[in-house]
Amino acid sequence: MQRLKAFPKAKLTAVLEMMIQKATVWVPSMIAGVSRFAPYRPGTDIQMGTNTAISPKEALFPSTEKIYKFSAYGIDGDFEPVDPSVGPQILFGLRSCDMQGILCLDDVFLTRGYVDDFYGSKREATTLITLGCVTPGADCFCASMGVNPAEHDASDAQMYDLGDAYGIIARSVKGEALVKDLMAAGLLSDTDKSQGPTADFVLKVDSEGITEKLQQMFDHPLWDELSRKCLNCGTCAYLCPTCHCFDIAEKKRNQHCGVKIKCWDTCMFSEYALMAGGHNPRPSKKERVRQRFMHKLRYFPERYGKLQCTGCGRCIAKCPVNLEITDVIKLAGEAKSDG
């Protein structure tokens, strides 16, 4: 068996400096007091120890994106497309939960007969490097959602936390090219070390059978009870690595011309389901809260065969009222079905 290649943690910046020669490298960073993935530059405050507060989906699905420019003078209209593509980029140090989140986004934006170019072009240009997780955070529960924190086999390359070094193996052609570059630069050496076991999770929940259970719970009073404390803010959705809803709006320069934009939206907002004519099929908090959890735990698995919650715990960490998806799964599991 081939031995694991590794580079010392002290050489991290050297590795990143090498990588930015060929691509934009998104690394977990501290930006204005918040940890998030951001393009690496010399001097970046890198945060490899814990997962980021903001999910890395913004590298593939930015919160605001231009779609096209338009102008209209009387009956003369004109469109100018906006190129959504980006240059080669690397997402460096993704945790398994966020890798799983990208697989969910892939399902939505790339399958079922339509490829979203805004997402697809960025995804195509991206190399994903995952990092094994040995110390889950206080709000993490990925193992409960069927995600292996130690490694994820869908990435282009996997890094392992070896204490004072990072081990790395390639999993795809893109990953092999990257490891080859690191070898050529003399940054990798053989190691006998391996990643230690992942520490025990504080949060655990049994998600077995939750999809089937929720199929019988659309009219259950649980949604009324759960939604009472919800503020219907968008914190959970905007931090979520899998939430993918967007709205299309326009920014007008004047009454004739402007730009169409797509920007994050969420089923938590009252106007999200509002229809032309004023009808709102999700008029209260109950319907909105139900939609959020039904989508993640029932509709998405029904459509794509996987849960749309990866256990990253960001919504739990930041929910202003501690409406925790782990509690929802537990309470739904214990509830008497209404079917």
Partner 1 sequence: MNQITKEMRDLARELLASGEVKGLIGWTKGSRWYLTPPLFITRPEEAEQLYFDQFAVNNLTGLLLDYRYGDDKIALFVKGCDSRGIVRLLQDHQIKREKVLVIGVPCMGMSDKKAVTDPRQPVELPLLDKCLECRYPNPVIADRLIGGALVSGEPSEPKGLTASEAAKRGVGSKQADRFAQVKAIEAMSADEKYAFWQAQHEKCLRCYACRNICPACNCRECIFESDKKGWVNKSATPTDNAFFAVTRAMHVAGRCVECGECERVCPMDIPIMALNRKVIQDINELFGESDAGTDLDGKMPLGLFKNDDPEEFM
Contact positions vs partner 1 (CB under 8 A): 31-34, 53-54, 63-64, 138, 202-203, 225, 228-229, 231-235, 237-239, 247, 249-252, 261, 263-265, 269-271, 285, 318, 320-324, 326-327
Q: CB-wise, 116 or 139, nearer to partner 1?
A: 139
**Shortest CB 266 distance to partner 1, Å:** 8
**Shortest CB 217 distance to partner 1, Å:** 20
Q: CB-wise, 62 or 301, nearer to partner 1?
A: 62
**Shortest CB 214 distance to partner 1, Å:** 20
SS3 letters across the chain: CCCEEEEEHHHHHHHHHHHCCCCEEEEEEEECCEEEEEECCCCCCECCCCCCCCCHHHHCCCCEEEEEEEEEECCEEEEEECCCCCCCEEEEEECHHHHHHHHHHHHHHHCCCCCCHHHHHHHHCEEEEEECCCCCCCCCCHHHHCCCCCCCCCCCEEEEECCCEEEEEECCHHHHHHHHHHHHCCCCEEECCCCCCCCCCCCCCCCCCHHHHHCCCCCCCHHHHHHCCCCCCCHHHHHCCCCCCEEEEEEECCCCEEEEEEEECCCCCCCCCCCCCCCCCCCCHHHHHHHHHHHHHHHHHHHHCCCCCCCCCHHHHHCCCCCCHHHHHHHHHHCCCCC
Q: CB-wise, 81 or 320, nearer to partner 1?
A: 320
Q: CB-wise, 179 or 237, nearer to partner 1?
A: 237
**Shortest CB 323 distance to partner 1, Å:** 8
Q: CB-wise, 31 or 335, nearer to partner 1?
A: 31
**Shortest CB 234 distance to partner 1, Å:** 4
Q: CB-wise, 95 or 262, nearer to partner 1?
A: 262
**Shortest CB 213 distance to partner 1, Å:** 20
